[in-house]
Amino acid sequence: MITVRITDTSLHVSGHAGCAPAGQDIVCAAVSALYNTATLNLLALSDEGVCAVAYDPAPGKAWVAATPVRGREADVKQVLDIIGRGLRTMAEQYSDFVQMA
């Protein structure tokens, strides 16, 4: 089971879906793609001076966190809101494999 915890400034993904053998698990792949998209978008904001970003993409325990500069909180929140919609949809469609914390 993958557990997802998302806030206005961070995303934590832990566990493994176990939907299929490693390398063939579409649920893991989809969650990983959304995590990577969040991380890349937050890093792009960091390059623009919008926030500072820390992350660890460790399999089974990945996280990314952003510290926005004053007045740019909405930019970080927007990225995580969009990714959160995708992850909530995954949790609804694949509830045996993904849960929102």
pLDDT of residue 32: 96
pLDDT band at 23 (very low <50, low <70, confident <90, very high): confident
Range 73-76 contact pairs with CB under 8 angstroms and sequence separation of 24 or more: 73/8, 73/9, 75/45, 75/50, 75/51, 76/8, 76/9, 76/42, 76/45, 76/50, 76/51
Query: Residue 21: pLDDT above 90?
Result: no
* Digit-coded pLDDT (tens) for 54-96: 999 998 999 999 999 999 999 999 999 999 999 999 999 999 9
Is residue 28 within 8 A of residue 3, CB to CB? The reply is no
pLDDT band at 1 (very low <50, low <70, confident <90, very high): very high
| pTM of structure | 0.94
Give the single-character DSSP code of 27: H
